[in-house]
Copies of this chain bind each other. A is one copy, B any other.
Amino acid sequence: MIGGELTYSRIVEAKERMAPPVRVTGMLPLARTADEVGRERLFLKSEHLQVTGSYKARSAFNILRSFEGERRRRGIVLSSSGNFAQAFAYAGRVLDSPVAIVMPEYTAEVKVEGTREYGAEVVLCPTFADRDPAVEQVGAERGMVILHTFEDPEVAVGHGTIGLEVVEQLPEVETVLIPVSSGGLAAGIALAVKERRPDVTVLGVQPEGGNAAYVSWQAGEVRAVDRWESMADALSARRPGKLPFEYLQRYLDDIVLVSEEAIAEAVRTILFRTKTLTEPGGATAAAAFLSGVVDTGKVTAAIASGGNIQPSVLEKILGGE
C-alpha cells in the first residue's frame, strides 16, 4: 500500500510532476464519414498512443518517481498480466528501480515475454487466486513496496491527470466517456473533470458482458459478477475496487453498456478513420458514442485507454466486418 489520498489537489500535483517519457497525448477528432471531417463532435483522448501503449504509464511513473533512496532501490511488486505490467516494467527500467510482476503460470507467453522485454522480473504463481499471496510474499521477502492496483488511491491520482488534460485541451467538451473495469481510471478522471467543470456530464462505459461496475452502480454497493465475457480483456475486473467505487458514486452521472458488436465496430472505425489502433477496451468508451448509446449531439471526449491488442484479435475484428 502506498496510500495517500485521492483528491483534486493531489491530481494537480501529479500533473505538475509529469514529464517525459510520459506523453501529453492529443485529442484526436474522429469523423464517422469523410463528410464529417472538420466538423467532428467526438474526440479521442489518445492514451493508446501513450508510451507502452496505455494510460497506465501515467500512474507507473507517478508512483515510481515518488520513491526515494532505499525505496527506489528496492522497488515494487504487483500483479498484472496486461497493461500495468508493461507500464511498470518500463518505468522501472527508466527510473532504475526493480519491478516484479506476478502472473499466473498459464499467462500467454507473449505477455510474459513482453513484460520481460520491457525490463521487469516476472514471478509466476500457480493460479489466479494465488496472485495476491504471491505479491505479499515477494514484497515481504525483498522489502519491495506492495501495490494493490484495485485499491491504492495513488493509482487513481496518476490517472486523474488525464481528466485535467481533457478539459484543458477541449474546453468546449460537454460529455466525457470513460471505460470502467476496477474503476481507478474512471475515479481519477471523473474527480478531476467534475472539480474543474461541474457542468460536464461524465459517464462510465462497460461491455454488456463485463458489467461489474454497472451492476454495483445499480445496487448502490460493490458487487462481484460470476460471468465475464468480452473481447475487452483490459476491462476484466469481476468487481470494482471499494475505494474507486466510492468516487464513481460521487462523481459519475451514469454508467452505460455497449455490445461486443459495438466495440468491434468502434475498433474498425477508429482504425480506418483516425489511422490509429485501439484494443477493444480502448475503443469501449468511443463505442458508446458511435453506437448511439449516448447523446451524439454533444461535444464528447472518449478516453481511448490503450492499443495493446493481440494481432489475432485484430484479425478477427477485421474479418467480422
Q: Which residues of B contact A321 (CB under 8 A)?
A: 311
With A311-B268, A311-B318 as known contacts, state yes or no: A34 contacts B275, CB within 8 Å.
no
Q: Which residues of B contact A89 (CB under 8 A)?
A: 34
**Nearest chain B residue, comparing its CB with the CB of A33:** B117
Across the interface, A277 reaches (CB within 8 A) one of B34, B114, B272, namely B272
A38 to B89 Cα, complex, angstroms = 13
A86 to B33 Cα, complex, angstroms = 12
Q: Which residues of B contact A93 (CB under 8 A)?
A: 38
Q: Which residues of B contact A114 (CB under 8 A)?
A: 34
With A38-B94, A272-B277, A277-B272 as known contacts, state yes or no: A315 contacts B319, CB within 8 Å.
yes
**Nearest chain B residue, comparing its CB with the CB of A115:** B34
Q: Which residues of B contact A307 (CB under 8 A)?
A: 275
A94 to B93 Cα, complex, angstroms = 47
Q: Which residues of B contact A90 (CB under 8 A)?
A: 34, 37-38
Size bin of chain A's contact surface: 35 or more
**Is A276 on the interface with B (CB-CB < 8 A)?**
yes
With A275-B277, A311-B272 as known contacts, state yes or no: A37 contacts B51, CB within 8 Å.
yes
A271 to B314 Cα, complex, angstroms = 11
**Is A35 on the interface with B (CB-CB < 8 A)?**
yes
A8 to B269 Cα, complex, angstroms = 39
- Chain A residues 67-101 with CB under 8 Å of chain B are 86, 89-90, 93-94
Across the interface, A86 reaches (CB within 8 A) one of B34, B119, B319, namely B34
Question: Ordered nearest first, which 8 A-B pairs have the shortest CB separation?
Answer: A275-B307, A34-B117, A275-B277, A34-B118, A35-B117, A315-B318, A48-B275, A276-B276
Residues of A within 8 A of B (CB): 21, 33-35, 37-38, 48-49, 51-53, 86, 89-90, 93-94, 114, 117-119, 268, 271-272, 274-278, 307, 309, 311, 314-315, 318-319, 321
**Contacts A33-B117, A35-B117, A315-B318 supplied; 10 other A-B pairs, CB < 8 Å:** A34-B86, A34-B90, A38-B51, A38-B94, A49-B275, A268-B311, A271-B277, A275-B307, A277-B277, A311-B321
